[in-house]
Structure 1
Amino acid sequence: MPDIVSPEQRSRMMSGIRGKDTKPEMVLRRGLHALGFRFRLHDRKLPGTPDLVFPKYHAVILVHGCFWHGHDCHLFRLPGSRTEFWRTKIDRNRAVDVRTELALHDAGWRVGTVWECAMRGKGRLSMENILEACSAWLKSDASELEIRGQ
């Protein structure tokens, strides 16, 4: 199926998509900060430039968009146009996610992932529950955390 917009318009649309400071990330940051957690943002010294870095807890939290990371939830649907391009791109993103998580674990970091579907859509969780789960995980010794929508 051909693209329904011009290449120039598509380029302009795609350039407006942010990888940092997304709405789900900002909501999570505000909530954790209000609970007293202090963190660094997008530390380029660490593999994958994690969204939130908690040096005191030796933990990082990645906030993943369900479309861009190919999550198996109701928010992800492969586009009907340029399907092969998108499949390749999303598969590559998934492979990078796996490598990043492995590298972080190898460097001694605990890794938490909060999926976009946990914060929006029909299966979303309350922000209170998400923050409670993150807080409990940060204070624990568990090496991994995954929060996803229901």
Structure 2
Amino acid sequence: MRAIKSKDTSVEVLLRKALWKRGYRYRKNDKTIIGTPDIVFKKYRIAIFIDSEFFHGYNWEIKKTKLHGNRDYWIAKIERNMARDKKVNESLLSKGWVVLRFWGFDVKKNLQGCLKIIETQVDEMKKKIFYIDNEKFL
């Protein structure tokens, strides 16, 4: 378990570099935000998580039947991770944040699609901020 990276994984770096190249500025692994998102746009209240398929339970109902070594440990661990992810999502959403979660393989195979989703959300939040700011002057 010591060898498992929790931040600066190859898919995180890939997405961050692509965002930076497009001119987006962000914070990474911000501990002040619940769940410590991998990428944060604080101004727009957008939290982005890049989840590994194994540790966050992609296709969990199928995958858990195929676990062999130390089965009880892994099932409990991954299900706790999934429950924690759900709790983090609910907490952030209740505070007005937009939560985006991408599977690692989605970032690798469809980087442009992931970027498009992020850009769309940033644009939507920019519009909301603009209108909120304008309401002060009305």
Normalised by the length of structure 2, the TM-score is: 0.81
2:50 aligns with 63
Q: Following the alignment from structure 1 to structure 2, what is the Cα–Cα distance between the partners of residues 63 and 138?
A: 17
Please state which structure has a larger fraction of its residues in helix: 2
Separation of aligned partners in 1, 2:44 and 2:17: 18
Distance 1:133 1:99 in 2: 23
| Identical amino acids, percent of aligned pairs | 31
The structure with higher relative contact order (CA 8 Å, sep 6+) is: 2
Gaps of 5+ in 2: 126-138
Asked whether 1:80 is paired with 2:64, we answer no
Aligned length: 122
Residues 52-108 of structure 1, C-alpha deviations (whole Å, 9 max, x = no match): 1101221111111111100128xx565311111100000000000001111111222
Q: CA deviation at 1:31?
A: 0.5
The structural deviation recorded for 1:45 is 1.2
- CA distance in structure 2 between the partners assigned to 1:30 and 1:40 by the alignment: 13
Task: Return the alpha-carbon distance in structure 1 between the equivalents of residues 6 and 77 of structure 2.
Answer: 15
Cα pair 1:51 1:61 within 8 Å, conserved: yes
**Farther-moved stretch of structure 1 (99-108 vs 85-94):** 99-108
Match among 7, 15, 28 for residue 41 of structure 1: 28
**Equivalent of 1:140 in 98, 116, 124:** 124
Give the corresponding residue for 1:23.
10
Deviation digits for residues 109-139 of structure 1 (CA, Å, limit 9, x no counterpart): 111111112134xxx32x2222122212221
Unaligned segments of structure 1, at least 5 residues: 1-13, 142-150
Normalising by structure 1, report the TM-score: 0.75
CA contact (8 A) 2:15 2:107 kept: no
SS at match of 1:60: strand
| Alpha carbons 1:57, 1:139 under 8 Å: kept | no
- Residue by residue over 1:33-58, the C-alpha shift from the partner in whole angstroms, topping out at 9 and shown as x without a partner, is 11111111111111111111101221
CA distance in 2, matches of 1:119, 1:45: 25
* Equivalent position SS for 1:102: helix
Question: Counterpart of 1:131?
Answer: 115
